[in-house]
Structure 1
Amino acid sequence: MSQQRHPLFVPLIFVGGLIFGFGLGFSHMARPEVVLNFLQFEDFGLLFVMGGAAVVTGIAFALVPRLFDRAPLTGDTYGRRLKSFDRNVLIGGAIFGVGWGLSGICPGAAYASLGVGNVTILWALAGMFVGAYLQGYWRSQRATSRTTPTGAD
């Protein structure tokens, strides 16, 4: 049974992306040098931007399920989707952190960085896509090797 989405779902997602991108550009978080200065403990502006976002998100996650029984645009019920903290989460987070530190930009800000004229960020975006593809290929190869019967079967 497919659920019908509200007609404003896609336009509001687009508007949310515009607001997110504008906020990253306005706060200078789409500039790798600002992020690298934060990682080198020279500029703590990113801490305030992330803290402000965490406060708004925390309030929304606490209040919206109490005010509405279903999501307004999708009609889905609110629920927590928990992912177990395992080895893959730890290793993936470490790899992500190293990539963030080397490039000075995270994926969301990388796209916003294009909007402020940083075309050299295309190298980092290409690296993200290649890395994601390689991880997907590696995972599919592991899944295939686990399901392939051995000669003793």
Structure 2
Amino acid sequence: FVDATLRLQPHGGRFLEMGKADVRDPEQVAQEHPGVAYRAFDLMEAGPERIQEMLGELRSLFEAGALHPLPVRSWDVRYARDAFRFLGQARHVGKVALSLPRELDPQGTVLITGATGTLGTLLAHHLVTHHDVRHLLLTSRRGDQAPGADTLRAELE
């Protein structure tokens, strides 16, 4: 994307490289894109005092409404593949973030289907012991007639 952006710069344009992955040699950029000023920016070069000044200036600009936060599009981490595909299309503005599912509400009810099978039983125990879930709705094809259903109920109470 750097090359495409540099090609779009008009004479007198400025390109400020904020990333660390594709930093170019300014002399080479000047040869390939005459009239375009290229500079790689490393915030740490500014030093702590100047960084503090810049952050204060930014805060003032946000408070005055002259600047607005970039939009953030959040994707559930379970859909990370889709998020990276979306990011790769480079048609977004702002940030793309992955989020973790919210924690289970210990006062809520969790439905477990296939609850009397091995996996359902393990999941029920895990939810009770590790997530403090107190209300389970356990369903299965055999219901309370399933082998081990009475034992499971007693263990979870």
The structure with the largest helix share of the pair is 1
Identify, as 1 or 2, the structure richer in strand: 2
Rg larger in structure = 2
- If asked which structure has higher relative contact order (CA below 8 Å, sep 6+), I would say 1
